[in-house]
A and B are shown apart, each in its own frame.
Chain A
């Protein structure tokens, strides 16, 4: 099969079929699919504009693409034994605090706890605590 581009109508129909199957007595069969072992994953980070601008300024000062700065930051967190997580439920904000960063370098102007900080939307927080 060559690369298939689903039309909007096909995709709508496929969604309707899947929802219909969910609601009937259909028992899905185990499928012989295996996750590929190699490759890369693209993850996104949601940040307020001001924090994203601060990161961009740091990347520019290093003459480094913003993407590679983010990648370096995440890899540094992993290399230092993992981040500490603090969830401020009142403000619906998740802080990822990792060692190995100078707060000034990471965020420019620290907001809340220093180091790497990322806010997530309220429904994600609800998902995390449900």
Chain B
């Protein structure tokens, strides 16, 4: 499955901004050869996809996203944060 684009609107942009993330940063991470992961679904919890990668300044970011249009390979970033140690290790292990 591909990731061809991201859906941004006022709702997710406002939320992402609170975490120091904007659309440019999402694209920055995406264009830097990130790794993709999925959280296994659990009871009462859907599995969300994670994009873990580095921005061009070398920082690691974890962007949580959900598929909103599979025909267009369009994903919606819903939240994100500076990658945890666990997430950086995961990214390194899959380099």
**Interface residue count for B (Cβ, 8 Å)?**
51
From A31, A41, A123, A129, name the one whose CB has the most chain B CB atoms within 10 angstroms.
A31
How far is B64's CA from A6's CA once the two chains are assembled, in angstroms?
A: 14
Return the contact of A31 from the options B36, B57, B62, B84 (Cβ within 8 A).
Answer: B36
Question: Does B69 contact A14, Cβ atoms closer than 8 Å?
Answer: no
Q: Is the interface of B mostly helix, strand, loop or mixed?
A: mixed
Q: Separation in Å of the A81 CB from the closest CB of chain B?
A: 17
Residues of A within 8 A of B30 (CB): 35
For A4, the closest partner residue in chain B by CB is B68
What sequence of 0s and 1s flags, for each residue 98-130 of chain A, a beta carbon within 8 Å of any chain B beta carbon?
000000000000000000000000011001111
Report B53-72 residues with CB < 8 Å from chain A CB: 55, 57, 59, 62, 64, 66-72
Report B-chain residues with C-beta under 8 Å of the C-beta of A41: 27, 31
CA distance A59 to B27 in the complex (A): 26
Q: A29-B37, A31-B37 are in contact. Are A15 and B4 (CB under 8 A)?
A: no
Give Cα A31 to B91, complex, Å: 12
| Any B CB within 8 A of the CB of A91 | no
Complex-state Cα separation, A43 to B6, whole angstroms: 12
Residues on A with C-beta less than 8 A from B71 are 1, 3
Partner of A20, one of B34, B45, B50: B45
| CB-based contact A15/B79 at 8 Å | yes
The answer to whether B69 touches A34, judged by C-beta atoms less than 8 angstroms apart, is: no
A43 touches B38 (CB 8 A): no
* C-alpha spacing A124/B28, complex, angstroms: 13
The 5 closest A-B pairs by CB, nearest first: A36-B4, A28-B37, A33-B36, A31-B36, A18-B64
**B residues lining the A interface (CB < 8 Å):** 1-5, 11-12, 15, 20, 22-24, 27, 30-31, 33-40, 42, 45-46, 48-50, 55, 57, 59, 62, 64, 66-74, 76, 78-79, 81, 84, 87, 90, 94
